Structure 1
Amino acid sequence: MALTVDKLINDDRFCGDNVFQFVAFLPFALLLLVARVFLALFLWIASIILPNKSAVRQMLSTLACWTFGVYVKTKGTRDPRCSVMVANYVSCLDSLAASHVLGTISLRKWKVPPFFASTLGIRNAAQFVRKQHFADCPNKPVLLQPEGGPTNGKGLLKFTDWPFQIGNRVQPVAITVERLFTNVTVHRQSDARDKFPWSDALWFLCTPVTVFQLRLLPPLERLDDDDNVFAARLRQTLAEALEVEMTEFKWEELNRGSTATRREPPAELVRLARQVKEVLPRVPMRDIMRDLSVTRSVDVTITNFLEGVTPFTPEPSDAPTPSTSQAQPRYVTPVPTGVFPKSAKERQLSFQEKKAQMIADARKRYIERHGLSLALNNC
């Protein structure tokens, strides 16, 4: 089943099955929040007073993990020859987890106080100079998350442009996050790449523990690949390690899609449902509407019904058995020309022909699967 935008985002914070357990946990969560706010104030004062030494930074990183309830598990071995590491994007505190166990620096455009950025292992990408960094900190690799924004971990977004030329040897890192009761990241209309998601961080303070697992994969060599080919290899390696599908969505499209999904008018769903009904006349309208409310795609919904992903009870057919003397069938598969049209009008007509061909093919598969006796054009 193809992934759609709504399957890559979380619109709601609660993710558990037992609401009563979550309600009973809320008083404890509020007490935990108050205690961790005081711990955060101590962390802020300590980051200002204490000198910028490696041992002090490690202590502050540990204190930050206690503050946010972050517990990190690692698998695999870090390659000391890799100055660049590439990971998927799951939460706003991925950088803290990686910095704590791997000593990495993460590039962000967030406008946050300097002490906060330093504690989380963040450096502003606009102020980052690669050559100067590796001259000053040769043992501190850079962590890149080229998806541009977080998902719920069910798919891998299309990589954005790199902030600088990546090296010839890069180590991929697969990140997964587990937490009880609440989702780690929730998409909102106000989300922007340069704004730190404070509401997500607040829920870290309320949660007893959030478990990060960082799986360090074998390094990849560039060989003769350019940046685009090398990035595609990295993305494929991460997707296979996470056992998720690679999508063609960018984070900006994902974030716009979350708002559009919530605001889409019912009339639009009805229009899409009618298109599905024309192809699959025996599928009940209520089942079509239910599936479309999730996919928002005529093609995906048709595929779900044809492949048995979405179950349904077929409606009785009133159509009589056609005879050989009947007129030509209504649905005819158009023959593609194989020539790319020059004008916009011709390209639109070509698109409509391809769409009609796809619908006709889907209808044919449906009729053959369910053994319906309807005339089909075999051209």
Structure 2
Amino acid sequence: MALTVDKLANDDRFSGDNVFQFLLYLPFGILILALRTLLALILWVASILLPKKSAVGQLLSTLACWTFGVYVKLKGNRDPRCSVMVANYVSCLDSLATSHVLGTISLRKWKVPPFFASTLGIKNAAQFVRKQHFAESPSRPVLLQPEGGPTNGRGLLKFTDWPFPIGNRVQPVSIKVERMYTNVTVHRPGDTRDKFPWSDALWFLWTPLTVFTIQLLPAMERGDDDDAAFVQRLRQSIAGSLGVEMLEFRWEQVNSSGAWRARASAAELRRGAARVRDVLPRVPLRDVLADLAVTQSVDVTITNFLEGITPYTPERADTPPPGPSSPPPPKYVTPVPTGVFPKSAKERQLSFQERKAQMIAEARRKYIEKHGLNLA
């Protein structure tokens, strides 16, 4: 059975089967949390006072791994000719683990203090200049995680988040994370790309040990492939190493799915079903609700019905014959895009609504043509 978007996110922190062992460890976890918090303060002071040199950076990286209880297993060999590495996204400390053993720089949109960013081996993606970086530190490759956000590792999301065009030679990397008692990443309704998940980091401090397994895969040459074909080869390599399937979901769908489940109710599902039936009026309501409960997305549900992924029996259209006084039903008109990029945010939002209406109109037209409906 294919994975659905709701199976890619963890909503609960506790993951163990033996609650008794968890309760026994609880007081030791609180003690470890207190000691590691003290170590984190020492690390903060050291990052401010010590000079910015490579040996000092390696020392701070080691202290950061001790602070967060991170242990890294490295497999495979790094290709020195590759300045870009591409990996899956598992946790908020992927950058620390890879920076510690590979000396990589990870691009993030997090708004965190500079000392914290440098210790974790991250740079702000908005301030990153590719040519300048490779001129100043050619030995430090850039680690890209183009899934856009973390999942529970059960599938590989569609790659969408490219800060800059990738080069002609790239080394794929697979990352696995193991931990006792608690899940590494938990999705909350307020999760965004520019906000560091402090709650996940806090549980790193509480957990006795988190093991990262980093597998360096054979480097790949672009050859005659365009970006889409090259990215697909990279995805196949990483998914094969992880033993998971490649999915067409984006991280925004996984994140919105978590937000939906957090506030889901019968009223929410029915409002979503009403939106689906506005586009596909002949799909039975019970089928819409059943599919919507699985996908947690109105757009994905519409796609499932349009492409035949979710089978259904169309409802009979009981349309009364038009009388002499009744006006003819309005035809659905596809809005025409203006082709001009608006200057203000308000105008851009209106343009987005127009494009959205155009996509729905196109989906409706294809559905009508496919089923031979006569709505005129």
**What is residue 84 of structure 2 aligned with on the other side?**
84
Letter in 2 for 1:145: Q
Q: Is the 8 A contact 1:65 1:96 kept in 2?
A: yes
Q: Residue 317 of structure 1 corresponds to which residue in structure 2?
A: none
Match in the other structure for 2:207: 207
- Conserved 8 A contact 2:147-2:161: no
**In structure 2, distance between residues paired with 1:186 and 1:278:** 30
The yes-or-no answer on 1:177 pairing with 2:193 is: no
Counterpart contact for 2:117–2:123, Cα < 8 Å: yes
Contact 2:284 2:314 in 1 (8 A): no
Distance 1:169 1:347, change over 3 A: closer
Cα distance in 1 for residues equivalent to 2:167 and 2:105: 16
Q: Is the 8 A contact 2:148 2:161 kept in 1?
A: no
Separation in 2, partners of 1:196, 1:355: 48
CA distance in 2, matches of 1:330, 1:197: 45
- Provide the C-alpha distance between the structure 2 equivalents of 1:23 and 1:187, rounded to a whole number of angstroms: 24
Aligned residue identity for 2:367: F
What is aligned with 2:364? 348
Distance 1:254 1:277, change over 3 A: closer
Amino acid aligned to 2:251: W
Matches within 5 A, 1:101-250: 101-250=101-250
Which residue in the other structure is 1:94 paired with?
Answer: 94
Give every structure 1 segment of 4 or more consecutive aligned residues whose post-TM-superposition deviation is greater than 4 Å: 267-272, 274-279, 291-300, 302-305, 329-332, 341-347, 352-356
1:264 Cα deviation from its structure 2 partner? 2.8
Classify 1:215/1:207 alpha carbon distance in 2 versus 1 (closer, same or farther; 3 Å): same
Q: For 2:28, what is the secondary structure of its paired residue?
A: helix
CA distance 1:304–1:349, change in 2 (3 Å): closer
Tell me how far apart the structure 1 counterparts of residues 162 and 292 of structure 2 sit (CA, whole Å).
36
Partner AA of 2:43 in structure 1:
L
Could you tell me which runs of 5 or more consecutive residues in structure 2 were left unpaired when the two chains were aligned: 277-282, 317-331, 335-357
> Which residue number in structure 2 is paired with residue 308 of structure 1?
none
Task: Compare 341-350 and 201-210 and name the one that shifted more.
Answer: 341-350
More displaced 10-residue stretch of structure 1: 215-224 or 239-248: 239-248
Deviation for aligned residue 1:229: 2.1
What is the distance in 1 between the residues matched to 2:286 and 2:159? Answer: 37
> Partners of 1:29 and 1:21 in 2: how far apart?
12
Partner SS for 2:232: helix
- The residue type paired with residue 64 of structure 2 is A
Q: Residue 65 of structure 2 corresponds to which residue in structure 1?
A: 65
In the alignment, the residues of structure 2 paired with residue 132 and residue 240 of structure 1 have an alpha-carbon distance, to the nearest angstrom, of: 34
Cα distance in 1 between the residues matched to 2:29 and 2:105 = 31
In structure 2, the partner of 1:262 is 262
Provide the secondary structure at the position in 2 that maps to 1:204.
helix
Taking structure 1 as reference, are residues 56 and 45 closer, same or farther at Cα in structure 2, changes over 3 Å only? same
Where 1:171 maps in the other structure, the secondary structure is: strand
Which has more radius of gyration? 1
3-state secondary structure, aligned to 1:182: coil
Decide whether the 8 Å contact of 1:5 with 1:258 is kept in 2. Answer: no
Cα distance in 2 between the residues matched to 1:237 and 1:189: 32
Contact 2:85 2:171 in 1 (8 A): yes
Deviations 1:190-225 (A, max 9, x none): 111011100000000000000000000000001012
Secondary structure of 2:158's match? Answer: coil
Gaps of 5+ in 1: 280-287, 306-328, 333-340, 357-379
User: C-alpha separation between the residues in 1 aligned to 2:190 and 2:70?
Assistant: 26
In the TM superposition, residue 49 of structure 1 has moved relative to its aligned partner by 1.1
Q: CA deviation at 1:275?
A: 5.2
1:19-66 CA distances to partner (integer Å, 9 max, x unpaired)? Answer: 222122111111110000000011111111111111111111000000
Deviation by residue 1:218-259 (Cα, 9 ceiling, x = unmatched): 000010122222122211211121111211221122111111
Aligned residue pairs: how many? 316
Once structures 1 and 2 are overlaid, which stretch shifts more, 232-241 or 75-84? 232-241
Cα separation, 2, equivalents of 1:56 and 1:26: 34
Superposition TM-score, scaled by structure 1 size: 0.75
Structure 1 position 161, deviation (Å): 3.8
AA aligned opposite 1:42: I
CA distance in 1, matches of 2:365, 2:129: 50
Within 1, Cα distance between the matches of 2:90 and 2:36? 23
When structure 1 is superposed on structure 2, of 241-250 and 103-112 the one drifting more is 241-250
Q: What are the within-5 Å matches in structure 2 for residues 287-306 of structure 1?
A: none
Change (3 A) 1:348 1:192: same
